[in-house]
């Protein structure tokens, strides 16, 4: 595993603040039943934030025809939806929700070429609410496979997420399972697939980025 390159500052800040608090505790607070539990809690926070921003090594099970999960998490919805921004047609939408304990690195769902990439500022409603898909801060990316099929996905900020990182740019050749970005704190992925896609997951299922195949197109 490695730390995401866009999170060095965040993790360093957590370590610096935690170290400063521990120093102050040992310097000015002499009640050990307060000092040691708080120190242990801060060590745990440092460990959690390091693990949270890690990019795990995973098997790459996706391809140009097998769609792998963009993120770790739980499948919230599988439904028919109209994608109005780029595809402008009816699709099958699969929503994956990431909570605080999931790895938040994101990965390309299919192998192909990026045909669209756009960032949208917005609100920070809780990510599992339906209106979050349109009103929250998000990025949109479309990939066209060698077979000419389009896969479109959104990285959505949640109530606590304050930064979305996406490496997409027009014309970029991408490989399923390689990292495409990261979302800091609770958030969601909406992925839009062709109507004739064979869906291989169900609502409520836990999925792992790169490894879980969610559809065949």
136-182: pLDDT as tens digits = 788 999 999 999 999 999 998 865 555 788 999 999 999 999 999 98
Q: Check pLDDT > 70 for residue 216.
A: yes
- Reported pTM: 0.83
Other beta carbons less than 10 A from residue 77's beta carbon: 16
- Per-residue pLDDT of 81-96, as tens digits, reads 999 999 999 999 999 9
Residue extents of the structural domains in the chain: 2-55, 66-216
**Secondary structure (3-state) at 156:** strand
Mean pLDDT of 188-201: 96
Q: Report the b/e string of 167-201 with b at 16+ CB within 10 A.
A: bbeeebebebbebbbbbbbbbbbbbbbeeebeeeb
- Per-residue pLDDT of 7-28, as tens digits, reads 788 889 999 999 999 999 999 9
Contact 64, 212 (CB under 8 A): no
Confidence of residue 124 (pLDDT cuts 50, 70, 90): low
What residues act catalytically? 187
CATH of domain 66-216: 2.70.70.10
């Amino acid at each position: 595993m490695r730390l995401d390159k866009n999170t060095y500052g965040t993790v360093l800040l957590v370590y610096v603040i935690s170290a400063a608090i521990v120093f102050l505790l040992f310097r000015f607070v002499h009640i050990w039943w307060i000092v040691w539990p708080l120190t242990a809690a801060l060590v745990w926070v440092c460990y959690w934030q390091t693990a949270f921003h890690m990019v795990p090594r995973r098997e790459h099970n996706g391809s140009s025809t097998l769609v792998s999960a963009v993120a770790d998490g739980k499948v919230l919805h599988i439904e028919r939806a109209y994608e109005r921004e780029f595809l402008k047609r009816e699709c099958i939408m699969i929503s994956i929700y990431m909570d605080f304990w999931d790895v938040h690195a994101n990965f390309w769902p299919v192998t192909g070429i990026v045909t669209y990439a756009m960032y949208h500022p917005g609100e920070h409603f809780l990510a599992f609410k339906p209106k979050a898909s349109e009103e929250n801060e998000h990025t949109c990316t479309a990939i066209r496979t060698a077979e000419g099929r389009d896969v479109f996905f959104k990285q959505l900020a949640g109530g606590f997420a304050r930064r979305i990182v996406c490496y997409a740019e027009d014309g970029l050749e991408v490989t399923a399972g390689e990292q495409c970005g990261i979302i800091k704190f609770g958030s969601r992925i909406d992925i839009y697939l062709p109507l004739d896609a064979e869906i291989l997951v169900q609502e409520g299922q836990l999925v792992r980025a790169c490894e879980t195949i969610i559809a065949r197109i």
